């Protein structure tokens, strides 16, 4: 393969991995540990 094709595939894979990790962190089991700063500091 050409080097530009490998670079495009690598960058695409990294973007997909970061997106999947953020969705998992936001909506999966680790989301139970996240806190809402607006609820913590209500007046």
Q: Are 25 and 31 in contact (CB under 8 A)?
A: yes
Report yes or no on 11 lying in a domain.
yes
Report yes or no on 40 lying in a domain.
no
Report yes or no on 20 lying in a domain.
yes
Report yes or no on 39 lying in a domain.
no
Residue 3 phi, psi (nearest 5): -65, -30
Q: For residue 25, give every residue at least 6 positions away whose Cβ sits within 8 Å of its Cβ, in sequence order, or none.
A: 31, 34
Domain of residue 19: give its range.
1-29
Give the pLDDT confidence score for residue 43 in this predicted structure. Answer: 59
Report yes or no on 41 lying in a domain.
no
**In a 10 Å sphere around its CB, with 0-12 CB exposed, 13-18 middle and 19+ buried, how is residue 36 labelled?**
exposed
Report yes or no on 42 lying in a domain.
no
Q: pLDDT digit string (tens) for 1-43? A: 899 999 999 999 999 999 999 999 889 888 888 887 777 776 5
Give the DSSP per-residue string, 5-21. HHHHHHHHHHHHHHHHH
Report yes or no on 34 lying in a domain.
no
């Amino acid at each position: 393969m050409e080097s530009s094709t490998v670079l495009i595939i690598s960058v695409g894979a990294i973007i997909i991995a970061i997106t999947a990790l953020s969705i998992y962190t936001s909506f999966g089991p680790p989301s139970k540990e996240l806190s809402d700063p607006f609820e913590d500091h209500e007046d």
